[in-house]
């Protein structure tokens, strides 16, 4: 509109400025990956995300495979949105893990396995924030545990490594060669492989000569969890990983495979009622924990810890976990001390444990990590309107006002203790603005769970005088 245009009459000018409301994204959508050989192919096609919002929507999933029992366990906890990804069934475990991991179909270019989670928002309208693959995250398959350069060789300007051996069904590792001054000084592994049952040999090829490397194998990190980590980072989601459910030592080894806030380990397995066998059956715990998180989110909010909340539908656990108030040496406390959540029985079965596998103490608590994610995603999604607008004083004020209002709303709900938003001149120089780059800064403080409550007991004689008052 130009004010110099001639008009004899009345016109309306729409002023499209001012702050916009920010809506928090759904925090408890569950991404579930598994098998269901008897599923209806139309209702649940292979390697395609299907949104399930209630038990009835999963009626055609069948009764075999890992998906039916997992869906039942989730809905035992209450209502939830589940993005179900069905992968093909395989007889051999290594082949099954590969189908769950998936990738990109060479012929169609479509995602397969866990990577279908990337397409969930486009196909289902919601983005999963909790990842589970029950039955496929507890293993620590044999893979590469180390390597030794036995001869560095010389004259290399480029080199490649080829792996052979490993046995039938093994998935061999992949790596790039590290060169220093024409010599081979090591390997940078992009995958450690898994399912290895015989020695693995590394062959160096290139324009140099004389390099040789020996490969050591041993129990390695779960490949499904390893594949999910990159997706969890990109989608700001969390993986509920089932521990080995065998011994404390095995659980500790499993825990040491991970150092990210994106992984939350639960151990051991639990028992739930099976409609197939008409009795209690041992099953992975991750579906019940995921369903519990969804229930807590819906009832209390995403900022509330799922720990010390009753898990519905549990008949017991697969190995004894002792717990006593104030006992630092109980098995439950030792597992929690090592960032492994477990279950205790005290007027019902309760999830017990707050901590992720984060190497950064700032994100040690699951509820804190999820709160930070929800705020970051919600603010980013709500400001697409701000892209490509003219950078003016009113524009800066509108965006900061939107975020400030959102922080006030979260504080009122108890989701944060406080928060603010501002424009920092240090990050908005003339050079930045002329390149169309504007930066807004915000901060917030999430509430922390009262993981340790201490009562200081004093035995005194002061109140004896009351006897004679």
Contact 258, 243 (CB under 8 A): no
pLDDT at 4 over 70: no
- What pTM value is reported for the model? 0.87
The arithmetic mean of pLDDT across residues 48-62, rounded, is 94
For residue 127, give both structure tokens.
Answer: 């983005």
DSSP 262-298: TEEEE-S-EEEEETTTTEEEEE-SHHHHHHHHHHHHH
For residue 332, give both structure tokens.
Answer: 């439950």
DSSP code for 465 = G
Q: Strand 200-206 and strand 103-104: pairing?
A: unpaired
Alpha carbon distance 276, 284 (integer Å)? 16
Share of the chain above pLDDT 90, in %: 82
* pLDDT at residue number 1: 52
Mind listing the domains of the chain with CATH numbers? Answer: 30-138+223-363 (3.40.50.11780), 142-219 (no CATH), 389-469 (no CATH)
Span 165-182, pLDDT tens digits: 998 878 899 999 999 999
The arithmetic mean of pLDDT across residues 343-353, rounded, is 95
* pLDDT at residue number 3: 59
Per the listing, tokens 């994204």 go with 25
* pLDDT at residue number 7: 78
Query: Average pLDDT, whole number, for the chain?
Result: 93
CA distances from 45 to 27, 41, 50, 308, 421 (A): 26, 5, 8, 37, 45
Alpha carbon distance 420, 397 (integer Å)? 13
218 pLDDT band, cuts 50/70/90, is confident
* pLDDT at residue number 220: 85
Contact 151, 159 (CB under 8 A): no
51 pLDDT band, cuts 50/70/90, is very high
Span 256-280, pLDDT tens digits: 999 999 999 999 999 998 877 788 9
Span 440-464, pLDDT tens digits: 999 999 999 999 999 999 999 988 8
* pLDDT at residue number 195: 81
pLDDT at 17 over 70: no
Share of the chain above pLDDT 70, in %: 98
- Angle, to 10 degrees, between the axis of helix 223-235 and the axis of helix 93-101? 10
Contact 44, 84 (CB under 8 A): yes
pLDDT at 48 over 90: yes
Residue-wise burial string across 235-266, b where 16 or more C-beta atoms lie within 10 A, e elsewhere:
bbbbbbbbbbbeebebbbebbebbebbbbbbb
* pLDDT at residue number 190: 83
The arithmetic mean of pLDDT across residues 89-99, rounded, is 90
The arithmetic mean of pLDDT across residues 132-143, rounded, is 94
DSSP code for 26 = P
pLDDT at 120 over 70: yes
Of residues 251, 252, 173, the one with CA closest to residue 217:
173
The arithmetic mean of pLDDT across residues 12-21, rounded, is 70
């Amino acid at each position: 509109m130009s004010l110099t245009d001639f008009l004899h009459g009345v016109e309306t000018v729409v002023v499209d400025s001012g702050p916009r409301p920010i809506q928090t994204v759904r925090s408890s959508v569950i991404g579930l990956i598994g098998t269901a050989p008897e599923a209806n192919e139309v209702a649940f096609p292979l390697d395609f995300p299907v949104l399930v919002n209630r038990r009835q929507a999963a009626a055609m999933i069948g009764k075999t495979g890992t998906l039916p029992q997992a869906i039942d366990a989730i809905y035992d906890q209450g209502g939830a949105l589940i993005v179900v990804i069905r992968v093909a069934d395989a007889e051999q475990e290594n082949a099954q893990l590969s189908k769950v991991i998936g990738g990109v179909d060479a012929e169609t270019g479509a995602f397969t396995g866990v990577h279908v989670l990337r397409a969930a928002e486009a196909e289902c309208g919601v983005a999963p924030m909790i990842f589970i693959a029950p039955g496929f995250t507890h293993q620590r398959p044999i893979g590469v545990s180390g390597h030794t350069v036995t001869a560095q060789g010389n004259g290399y300007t480029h080199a490649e490594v080829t792996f052979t051996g490993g046995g039938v069904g093994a998935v061999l590792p992949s790596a790039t060669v590290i060169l220093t001054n024409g010599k081979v000084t090591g390997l940078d592994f992009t995958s450690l492989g898994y399912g290895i049952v015989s020695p693995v040999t590394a062959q160096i090829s290139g324009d140099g000569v004389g390099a040789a490397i020996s490969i050591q194998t041993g129990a390695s990190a779960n490949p499904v969890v390893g594949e999910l980590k990159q997706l969890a980072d990109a989608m700001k989601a969390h993986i509920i990983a089932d521990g080995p459910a065998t011994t404390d030592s095995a659980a500790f080894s499993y825990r040491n495979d991970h150092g990210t806030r994106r992984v939350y380990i639960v151990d051991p397995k639990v028992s739930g009622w099976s409609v197939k066998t008409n009795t209690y059956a041992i099953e992975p715990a991750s579906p019940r924990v995921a369903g519990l998180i969804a229930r807590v989110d819906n009832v209390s909010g995403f900022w509330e810890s799922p720990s010390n909340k009753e898990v519905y539908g549990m008949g017991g656990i697969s190995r004894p976990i002792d717990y006593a108030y104030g006992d630092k040496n109980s098995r439950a406390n030792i597992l929690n001390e090592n960032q492994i959540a477990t279950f205790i029985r005290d007027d019902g079965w309760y999830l017990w444990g707050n901590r992720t596998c984060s190497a950064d103490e700032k994100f040690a608590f699951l509820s804190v990590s999820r709160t930070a994610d929800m705020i970051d995603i919600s603010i980013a999604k709500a400001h697409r309107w701000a892209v490509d607008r003219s950078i003016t004083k009113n524009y800066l004020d509108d965006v900061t006002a939107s975020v400030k209002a959102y922080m006030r709303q979260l504080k009122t709900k108890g989701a944060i203790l406080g928060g603010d938003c501002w424009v920092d001149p240090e990050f908005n120089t003339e050079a930045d603005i002329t390149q169309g780059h504007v930066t807004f800064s915000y901060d917030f403080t999430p509430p922390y769970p009262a993981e340790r409550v201490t009562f200081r007991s004093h035995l005194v004689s002061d109140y004896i005088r009351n006897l004679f008052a």
